[in-house]
Amino acid sequence: MSKLVTPHGGKLTPVLAPKEQRKELLAKAKTLSVVRMSSRETSDCLMLGMGAFSPLTGFMKKADYDGVINNMHLSNGLAWPLPVTLAATKAQADAITVGSEVALVDDESGEYVAIMTIADKYGYDKEKECKTAFFTNDGGHPGVQKVMAQGEVYLGGDIVTFSELGYDEKYAGYYAHPAETRALFESKGWSTVCAFQTRNPLHRSHEFLCKIGNEVCDGLFLHPIVGKLKKGDIPAEVRFECYKAHMENYFNPATIEMRVYPMEMRYAGPKEAVLHAIFRQNFGCSHLLVGRDHAGVGSYYTAYQAQEIFNEFKTGEILCQPIKVTSSFYCKRCDGMATDKTCAHDPSEHINISGTKVREMFGRGELPPLEFGRKEVLEILTRYYQALDNK
């Protein structure tokens, strides 16, 4: 019988209400004062709801926030790299009393998502948070922009969610909670599972990394993010079709599963890599593939900073361990994919691949060569970019 890694903190702590209670909770929420959530806060609310952020059961109170900011640990000593917070303006916070309940509403759609019991209200230093979370306070960083634009007071407390904003219907069959993926992996007899995080369609380097993970573990878990991304990233609906095409044509269906999740990217590089490992542990994964510039953006992080940060945690603090892979490329002399570790041919023989480069080529109306991506995937992306050009 398979035995998966235990959830972070020992057990899953989902706060999504059973379906039969959700209508009643929605009616109750509509009688409460409203706190409107940014898209990132909404996505965190959904992750809390399904238990992906276990053992968290709500937005962080001051003691946990301070621990995370100062030493990447919750107040109880459990490893946690990034704040999970809900911001309000000072005027909003002053009108809310500790111990009261408020309705959490997604600001973009206007939909009610959760009820929160306010346990704490506290100020925080935006500059300090940005420097510790993103290693920069540069206004060009998308994560920094979000923090600097939000209210100056954090509201902490437990939540009960009663909506998944339609993700479960939109991605029916491919949208799963941690308890569900754990049951899936166990049904397949997997004890070790390697997760691959992606916000881009898979190119040949991604495929190469995935197959390394698939060799090391019993199964591969392709786990794309379908929450909000930065401007210029390829929409989730298009990427979803690319993932399915890739899986159907270039992977062994017996040893790979794909499910999506609703979080919004923070682009926090190293610390986001740690967060990715922690919540993949909750989904049942023993390993996470961490390649070059994981969860990065621009030039804010060094190439392998997201690998190095795992050395700052003690053995056993995070059970989902990184599989650290050096930069991969297509080598014309090798006639296949390789890495700096396995190939010593002159760099002039290498075709370097990146999601950014692929997007730039499509943006110029150029079709990337097959060394960049698989034919079926490139065809889907070609149709997407041609449709953009025709708008």
Tell whether omega for the bond before 55 is within 30 degrees of 0, i.e. cis. Answer: yes
Catalytic residue among 200, 280, 282, 359: 200
CA 2-279-70 angle, to 5 degrees, is 135
Catalytic residue among 22, 71, 182, 199: 199
CA–CA gap between residue 178 and residue 194 (Å, rounded): 15
Q: Has 199 been annotated as catalytic?
A: yes
325 CB neighbour count, 10 Å cutoff: 20
Q: Are 56 and 11 in contact (CB under 8 A)?
A: no
CA–CA gap between residue 326 and residue 306 (Å, rounded): 12
Q: Give φ, ψ of 134 to 5 degrees.
A: -110, -5
* Bridge-based pairing state of the strands 287-290 and 321-324: parallel
235, two tokens:
């929409």
Q: Rounded to whole angstroms, what are the CA distances from 174 to 46, 130, 242, 245? A: 16, 33, 14, 14
Q: Has 214 been annotated as catalytic?
A: no
135, two tokens:
């290693």
CA 259-262-263 angle, to 5 degrees, is 120
3-state secondary structure of 161: strand
> Quick one: which of 70, 114, 64, 99 has its CA closest to 84?
64
For residue 196, the cross-strand partners are: 222
Any alpha helices (H) in 115-177, and if so which ranges? 126-134, 142-149, 167-170
Which amino acids are annotated catalytic? 199-200
